[in-house]
Every structure is written in C-alpha cells, then in structure tokens.
Copies of this chain bind each other. A is one copy, B any other.
C-alpha cells in the first residue's frame, strides 16, 4: 500500500538526506539503495524511480553535499576588516570552526575525495570544488601581498594559497580522526606565531 505522495523536489531532497545519513553511518562503500530507502521509510524501488541508477544517486549526493556545505561561501562580514592579515586570520578561523562544527560533512567529503581517484565523474566535481577553494584563498593572498609587499619576500600568491588550502585540509584530516584532541585555539596560535606577527 503506497504511502503519501510528494512532489518530486521534496522527495528527492528527502532521499538525499537519507542517503547522507547512510553514507555517514556506513561509508560510501556501504551506501545501498535499500539502506537509503529504509532510512527514508520508502520502498527501494521508489529511490530508483527518482534516481534511475545508484551511480546517479551517489553523484547527486556529492552535488548535494557541495551545495549544502558552506565552504568559504559567506565571507561577507570578513570583507569589511581593514587589514588584509586580519581578513586571512578571520577566514582561517572561520574555516576551522566550520570543520569542527560539521565533522560529518567533512568526513564524507574526504571519502568522496578518495573515491575521486577511481571515478572520473567524481574527480571532476572534486577538482572543481578544490579549484574554487584555491581561488578564494588566492584572492585573499593577493590582497595580502599587495597590502604588505615586504611581509613575505619571495612568496607568490599561488604558493601561499596552496599552503593555506593544505593547512585547512590537514586540519580537516586531523580533526576527523581525533576531534576532541584537536585544539583550534592552540592551532591558530601556532599559525599566528609564525605568520601573524608581521601583520
């Protein structure tokens, strides 16, 4: 006996949320159409009706994850800070706090990341997102170098951006396996000990 009906948008969103829960709980490798259906309290045929193939469900889940994870999406309040170094500091802090606040998103994203080494379609999406991330930091670093040219002799905006991205990703990896032992404050203090004293 069929359950209540729903519009396509609503149902897709419901299924994607369920897929997210299952993927976080059992890993992408353990993601199963039937498990998603059970999580959403639907029949597994309905999941296939809305996503046709499992592959498409997984890809759409990645798109959903990217769309709902606010990485560097809201640097509005940061843009008003007068000093470029303060802006960098604020963005780094903001990103680290996001990682600490949403460990499940971070973990799943990293799992997709590893999967991208095997799946072309996923690598394309991940690479595009990485590029977007890098460009955002590139702009910050360029402004920083322009504002204080003497601060980092010999460094390029490219290199500094790559460095910042690696920093954040390293934090993500560390916070993922050891969330309570990972101290955001101490970490940022070390960063400022190396970088910030020049700002």
Interface residues of A (CB under 8 A from B): 25-30, 107, 110-111, 113-118, 123, 126-127, 130, 152-156, 158-160, 162-163, 165-174, 176-178, 182-183, 186-187, 189-195, 197
Contacts and interface: CB of A to CB of B under 8 A. Distances in A.
A193 B152 CA distance: 6
29 contacts: A26-B118, A29-B29, A107-B114, A110-B110, A111-B111, A111-B114, A114-B114, A126-B177, A127-B177, A130-B178, A152-B193, A153-B193, A156-B186, A156-B190, A159-B189, A160-B190, A160-B193, A162-B174, A162-B190, A163-B187, A163-B194, A165-B174, A166-B170, A166-B171, A167-B167, A168-B170, A169-B169, A170-B171, A172-B173
Closest 9 pairs (CB-CB, A-B): A29-B29, A166-B170, A159-B190, A170-B170, A155-B193, A169-B170, A169-B173, A111-B114, A154-B193
A182 B195 CA distance: 23
A99 to B, nearest CB: 11
B170 A165 contact: yes
Contacts of A126: 177
B169 A187 contact: no
Nearest to A189: B159
